[in-house]
Structure 1
Amino acid sequence: MINYELLCSKVIAIARLTGNFIRKEAMAFDTSSIEYKGLNDLVSYVDKQAEKQLVRNLKKILPDAGFITEEETINVIGKPFTWIIDPLDGTTNFIHGIPTYSISIALYEGDRPVIGVVYEINRGEMFSTYQGGAAYLNNKEIRVSTNENLAQSLLATGFPYYQFDKQPQYIQLFTDMMQKCHGLRRIGSAAVDLAYVACGRFDGYFEYNLNSYDVAAGAYLVQQAGGTVLNFAGGENFLETREILATNAKVTGEILETIKKYF
């Protein structure tokens, strides 16, 4: 029987260690080292080295687990456990010196999450949760917001940076949503957006064209903090559809109704 609380504490220590590496590299980062995986899809040696460090240390605490990783330094099928990792969520922010980026680590047992850790590096904010526990920010329990209507809500989203075929209706959605809430924010790290929903800073967050490593840990945080996570059709398979709506559960209906007008 795995002690998920103890295991989560070890993941937190690993995330903090890699965060120290990323923070140090940020001070002397040279933009000439940028690589392109695709249109506007940036990567650096920092992403790759951070991922290798995470994988090496996570293997030590759960040797037989598999890995799904953004930079594909390793992709191994493991049973029943799988780590889902984004070593540097917000790479574009990192490269341009904008101090909002994070490490995202989720552990799945089969098809269900059992650990979620998001480390917002520059603010030193460690968001964590595990099966049988609550959601925490630096060891203090957090909950989603209590706002009951969209008009009083602050939302987060992301802008498409490739696959622009859905951009026209997404812009229409932005326009509609802007007129219904306190405002929309685009921070540039999906993991941080979700962590902020979990702790009540945002009342909701929506985006499409995301991968499992972008949202797996953050989505679990939202769920453990009392929120709701769905896809744009209102289903629960947001990892497969690559569409995500995370809310405090109270404004889900209003946001989902607006999204369905365009998607």
Structure 2
Amino acid sequence: MILAARKASKSILRDYGEIDQLQTSKKGTESFVKKTEIKLNKILLDELVKSRPEWSILFRENNLRKGKDDIHTWIIQPLDGSKNISHGIPYFCISIAAKNEKEVIAGIIYDPLRDEMFISEKGSGSFVNDRRLRVSARKDIKNSVFSSNMRISNFISEKEAYSQLEKIKRENGAIRFLGSAVLDLAYVAAGRLDGLWHNYLDFSQVAAGSLIISEAGGMVDIKEKGPKESYKKDLIASNAELYTKLLSIFK
């Protein structure tokens, strides 16, 4: 996983260096970033197949490349924060997870700009560049910092989303919209964010991060939305003290 992410990151960094020059282009940067995502997908696919040729690979939108191994699956999010990168905003990442038939057993989130590799194996704790991770110790919503994507969908109305924000603000909590749900998860595990709630995420966005938070001493609640073949995830994560308070707000 680590080698695959590092190899893919070289392509991201090279393309990210060209974004500023494309900002004034009539075509914009969206198609350029889309091509970057396609390249990353191929690099990760090639490297992971080389590493474990029998394993299945799950991409975004539940697209599954079936392997001969019925137990193990790679789960990849080649670029989370594509809108950020298309505007030259330095907040995006790569995510890879490994799961067996029951649960996610390992995961990484890699921020190539800061060269931060967040990594975890089931039962072994979470680390960033060999430093142990722990979630924050804050107990009150007041003065805590949370992130959200505030995504409107068929399963959450605009009114409901704004109501969630107001409940946090009413208790003097701070809210950030950073543009990469996956990297937000890593930041909760590192104690940089005290918690988060995100709506309508792919499994590829939550697989690695939910394990990294859990192994860093945090709590994660995931609810599935939508038809079974394309389940999306609503996710709440924080330390144990704030977790119960967030659940009561978003119940």
Identify the TM-score tier after normalising by the shorter chain: 0.7 to 0.9
Residue 73 of structure 2 is aligned to residue 82 of structure 1: yes
The 1-side partners of 2:71 and 2:129 are apart by 29
Residue 46 of structure 2 is aligned to residue 56 of structure 1: yes
More divergent stretch after superposition (74-83 vs 56-65): 74-83
Return the letter of the residue paired with 1:167. E
Residue 161 of structure 2 is aligned to residue 170 of structure 1: yes
Residue 30 of structure 2 is aligned to residue 34 of structure 1: yes
1:34 CA drift (Å): 2.7
The 1-side partners of 2:132 and 2:249 are apart by 31
Instruction: Tell me which residue corresponds to 1:193.
Output: 184
Residue 98 of structure 2 is aligned to residue 107 of structure 1: yes
Equivalent residues in 2 for 1:1-263 (5 A)? 11-29=1-19, 30=22, 32=27, 34-35=30-31, 44-70=34-60, 75-76=65-66, 78-160=69-151, 163=154, 166-231=157-222, 240=231, 242-260=233-251
More divergent stretch after superposition (68-77 vs 42-51): 68-77
More divergent stretch after superposition (207-216 vs 153-162): 153-162
- CA separation of 1:254/1:194 partners in 2, compared to 1, >3 Å: closer, same or farther? same
**Percent of counterpart pairs with the same letter?**
29
> Conserved in 2, the CA contact under 8 Å of 1:228 and 1:247?
yes
> Conserved in 2, the CA contact under 8 Å of 1:143 and 1:226?
yes
Instruction: Tell me how many residue pairs correspond in the alignment.
Output: 239
> Conserved in 2, the CA contact under 8 Å of 1:144 and 1:222?
yes
More divergent stretch after superposition (68-77 vs 51-60): 68-77
- CA separation of 1:253/1:44 partners in 2, compared to 1, >3 Å: closer, same or farther? same
The 2-side partners of 1:132 and 1:51 are apart by 29
Q: Structure 2-normalised TM-score?
A: 0.87
1:122 CA drift (Å): 1.3
Instruction: Tell me which residue corresponds to 1:6.
Output: none
Give SS of 1:116's match. Answer: strand
CA RMSD, 1 decimal: 2.4
The 1-side partners of 2:130 and 2:89 are apart by 26
> Conserved in 2, the CA contact under 8 Å of 1:155 and 1:184?
yes
The 1-side partners of 2:195 and 2:54 are apart by 36
Q: Structure 1-normalised TM-score?
A: 0.84
The 1-side partners of 2:39 and 2:241 are apart by 40
Deviations 1:212-252 (A, max 9, x none): 0111111110011111110369xxxxx95611001111111
> Conserved in 2, the CA contact under 8 Å of 1:155 and 1:181?
no
1:61 CA drift (Å): 1.4
> Conserved in 2, the CA contact under 8 Å of 1:100 and 1:189?
yes
Deviations 1:147-196 (A, max 9, x none): 12222321111132665852211011111212224300111111111000
Unmatched tracts of structure 2, length 5 or more:
225-229
Instruction: Tell me which residue corresponds to 2:227.
Output: none
Unmatched tracts of structure 1, length 5 or more:
1-10, 36-41, 234-238
1:71 CA drift (Å): 7.7
